[in-house]
Amino acid sequence: NAGVTQTPKFQVLKTGQSMTLQCAQDMNHEYMSWYRQDPGMGLRLIHYSVGAGITDQGEVPNGYNVSRSTTEDFPLRLLSAAPSQTSVYFCASSTGFGSPLHFGNGTRLTVT
Amino acid sequence: AQTVTQSQPEMSVQDAETVTLSCTYDTSENNYYLFWYKQPPSRQMILVIRQEAYKQQNATENRFSVNFQKAAKSFSLKISDSQLGDTAMYFCAFMKLGPNNYGQNFVFGPGTRLSVLP
């Protein structure tokens, strides 16, 4: 039972490049979400999904895209990377309301 | 909008002593949950404790306990017998139902960096 698996662990991009952060969970959780962590700001919600085929925007969605074609996978796409997207990104999943989030180990992204 | 405030950006405590981390939140919801998460230098996010807002009894998990004051919207974390392995960033988090009453909406505080000194 791997839990929530995020890849890659580290990534450096140039401004304007695109990339996909991968997230997979093997706990059959319906709810999945992406957060970014910046110093002094805690974790902020980017996008979330309550099940396959259903996604919605969080607090800071601009510049990011998501899709959820299966229960297991929830990739995050950066369409055209900007230095403001330099951050640590976390994927998380849970069974639903009242349940804690299970986090992946994070991806440190640097955009130059 | 919900907000979570952690007024202590950094704290330190001696090994084996007790420390309390403060957290306040602002909401008009009645049905919600509160959490503390720990993030050690490894960057991993680890659940410390969970509290249901409708329960008056304070949650405890071994050396970790909370003081939940619903009317004051306060949710502090007490760590007893602090250990070097408790050195980490601690995040307070508030959870309510998402839009249209499905899913969940988590809001995290900015964090408190705790150092346990030998």
pLDDT in tens, B40-82: 999 999 999 999 999 989 999 999 999 999 999 999 999 999 9
Q: Which of A43, A96, A105 sits opposite B108 (nearest CB)?
A: A43
For chains A and B, CB pairs below 8 A equal 59
Hey, is the C-beta of B40 within 8 angstroms of any chain A C-beta? no
Query: CA-based angle A83:A85:A91, to the nearest 5?
Result: 155
A67 CA to chain B: closest CA distance, Å? 16
pLDDT range class, residue A4, cuts 50, 70, 90: very high
Per-residue pLDDT, A17: 97
Q: B68 vs chain A: nearest CA distance in angstroms?
A: 17
Yes or no, beta carbons of A100 and B35 under 8 Å apart? yes
The residue that leads in pLDDT, A78 or B101, is A78
Q: Which residues contact A42 (CB under 8 A, 6 or more apart)?
A: B4, B91, B108, B109, B110, B111
State the Cα angle at A34 between B100 and B42, rounded to 5°: 140
pLDDT-derived band at A88, boundaries 50, 70, 90: very high
CB atoms within 10 A of CB A38: 14
- Cα torsion through A106, A109, B2, B6, rounded to 10: 80
Q: What is the mean pLDDT of residues A41-64?
A: 93
Nearest CA in chain A to B95: A98
Kindly identify which residue of chain B lies nearest to residue A42, measuring between CA atoms. Answer: B110
Query: Radius of gyration of chain A from Cα atoms?
Result: 13
Distance from C-alpha of A100 to C-alpha of A75, rounded to nearest angstrom: 21
**How does residue A14 score in pLDDT terms, banded at 50, 70 and 90?**
very high
| Percent of chain A's residues with pLDDT above 90 | 90
Question: Which chain B positions have a beta carbon within 8 Å of A88's beta carbon?
Answer: 43
